[in-house]
Amino acid sequence: MQKNEGWTVRTDKNYNNRNMKKVWVMMLATLMVSSTMMAGNVKKSTTLPIGGEIVKASHPMIQYVGRVSFAKNPDVASFNYPGTTIEASFQGSSLKMLCRPKTGYFMAQIDGCEPFKVGFNAERDSVVTLAAALPKGVHHAKVMYVIEGLF
């Protein structure tokens, strides 16, 4: 465990729970100036277009609160407990979140505005836009896992 500005972040990479349904999360900041990306970085099940920069789940500026495992892949966060939270600040005009299909629901909050629910329930779509047309500057995103996936 490590403390960072009042948050406790679990950094135990050996944590593994066989019964854990895997929620693969990557936050990605989409910058308007960058509109292309190599297709090899995204699973073939992704059906929505992605542009901008993918930020790996292991990025040191992403804060996690709750039981999060990086045991199977150091660049993919896995968790299944409701209340697990992801927070990060980013610069750009939009933000998308990439998850494995059928992983469940999240509550998202951008820049302290009203939280809203997003779901990853389709067979193939695994990218959800969390924010679009944001003004220039630094923004803050908070995403909380609220309901288990559909397995």
Q: What parts of the chain have a pLDDT lower than 70? A: 1-51, 125, 148-151
Which pTM does this prediction carry?
0.66
Q: Distance (Å, rounded) from C-alpha 116 to C-alpha 5?
A: 25
pLDDT at 120 (0 to 100): 87
Residue spans per domain, the chain: 2-147
Q: In what order do the strands lie in the sheet with 53-54?
A: 53-54, 25-30, 94-99, 127-131
pLDDT at 52 (0 to 100): 78
pLDDT at 5 (0 to 100): 43
CATH homologous superfamily of 2-147 equals Galactose-binding domain-like (2.60.120.260)
pLDDT at 110 (0 to 100): 97
